[in-house]
């Protein structure tokens, strides 16, 4: 079912495409300019209706799908964020079409920017891709304005040469580092060092009182500081309650939960594993000897292997 979330901007509303929108989309594509770069133009109404029906039948990752673009209640465009049909790995691809009657006002940029932000920030996607025909100068300029990187070109969609673009998340506003003060550095290294290493973090810095591990632009510190005022961590007191970390698959969550007991971690809420956080939240909860809790959460849409 095509049921992506509603997205609003200063001037626009992007809402899920619905069957009653069909004739409004037919009217949009009656303008030959909207499909001028297609292999087969969509000026024929029945072709547009077939296209809308395909989009309504979309079945894909949660949060993605097809939207209509509205301004003051009028449907003025169509947009999508869904796995690409033309690129390997089913990577997420963005697309947008806007009525020429509303062109020249920055509305296409506004809609595409909101959709891109929804993908990268809202859904936490590692990338969003765009395929733009080399003759489509306006769209080429738009994706470049949004910070997409040109990574090559080839023939796509049966309509000639396209440029392939990718947008990556910005580090702006993301954690720079996290610092944990621990009562025993060796014990912390045994638990945190093993777990972070399994998740792809690599040792970053080391000094007599501490060590850190880094993943991307973020690093995590464990330190036995001389300013430490206590010997235990109480996660139910004000302060840090727990850290939650993404894990690539449900199978990997199971594996880490099983091996963690050999590296200083104890299971929490074991009787409810792997759904202690809810029916749609696949995770393992672990606690180390110093009372620090970590939550290992399977990425949305990962495999459906059940816990053994």
CB neighbours of 304 closer than 8 A, spacing ≥ 6? 250
Give the chain's radius of gyration (CA, Å).
24
Tell me, yes or no, whether 15 and 87 share the same domain.
Answer: yes
Number of domains composing the chain: 2
Q: How confident is the model at residue 205 (pLDDT cuts 50, 70, 90)?
A: very high
pLDDT digits (tens, 9 = 90+) for 255-271: 999 999 999 999 999 99
Tell me, yes or no, whether 112 and 190 share the same domain.
Answer: no
Tell me, yes or no, whether 192 and 158 share the same domain.
Answer: no
Tell me, yes or no, whether 235 and 270 share the same domain.
Answer: yes
pLDDT of residue 301: 61
What does DSSP assign to residue 176? -
Q: How confident is the model at residue 1 (pLDDT cuts 50, 70, 90)?
A: low
Does residue 307 lie within any of the structural domains? no
pLDDT digits (tens, 9 = 90+) for 8-35: 999 999 999 999 999 999 999 998 887 7
Q: Which long-range contacts (CB under 8 A, 24 or more apart) does 148-156 make?
A: 156/86, 156/131
pLDDT digits (tens, 9 = 90+) for 118-172: 999 999 898 999 999 888 899 999 999 999 999 998 877 767 788 999 999 988 8
The residue from 167, 197, 218 where one domain ends is 167
Does residue 62 lie within any of the structural domains? yes
pTM of the model: 0.75
Is residue 39 pLDDT above 70, yes or no?
no
Tell me, yes or no, whether 110 and 52 share the same domain.
Answer: yes
Range of the domain at 145: 7-167
Q: Report the distance separating Cα 250 and Cα 32, nearest Å.
A: 47
Tell me, yes or no, whether 218 and 278 share the same domain.
Answer: yes
pLDDT of residue 305: 39
CA 297-302-308 angle, to 5 degrees, is 70
């Amino acid at each position: 079912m095509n049921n992506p979330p509603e997205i609003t901007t200063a001037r626009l509303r992007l809402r899920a495409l619905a069957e009653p929108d069909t004739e409004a989309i037919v009217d949009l594509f009656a303008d030959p300019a909207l499909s001028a770069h297609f292999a087969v133009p969509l000026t024929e109404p029945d072709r547009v209706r077939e296209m809308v029906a395909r989009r309504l039948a979309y079945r894909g990752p949660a949060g993605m799908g097809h939207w209509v673009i509205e301004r003051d209640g009028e449907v003025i465009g169509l947009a999508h964020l869904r796995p690409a049909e033309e690129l390997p790995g089913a990577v997420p691809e963005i697309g947008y079409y806007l009525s020429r009657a509303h062109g020249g006002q920055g509305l296409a940029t506004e809609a595409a920017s909101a959709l891109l932000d929804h993908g990268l920030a809202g859904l936490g996607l590692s990338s969003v891709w765009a395929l733009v025909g080399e003759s489509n100068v306006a769209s080429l300029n738009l994706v470049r304005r949004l910070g997409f990187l040109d990574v090559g070109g080839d023939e796509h969609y049966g309509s000639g040469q396209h440029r392939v673009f990718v947008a990556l998340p910005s580090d702006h506003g993301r954690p720079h580092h996290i610092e944990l003060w621990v009562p025993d550095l060796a014990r912390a290294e045994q638990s945190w060092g093993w777990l972070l290493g399994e998740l792809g973090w690599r040792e970053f810095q080391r000094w007599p009182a501490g060590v850190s591990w880094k993943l991307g632009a973020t690093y995590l510190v464990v330190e036995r500081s001389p300013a430490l005022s206590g010997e235990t961590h109480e996660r139910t007191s004000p302060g840090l309650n727990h850290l939650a970390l993404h894990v690539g698959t449900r199978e990997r969550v199971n594996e880490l939960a099983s091996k963690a007991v050999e590296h200083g971690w104890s299971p929490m809420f074991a009787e409810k594993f792997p759904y202690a956080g809810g029916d749609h939240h696949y995770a393992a909860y672990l606690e180390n000897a110093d009372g620090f809790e970590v939550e290992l959460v399977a990425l949305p849409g990962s495999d459906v292997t059940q816990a053994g």
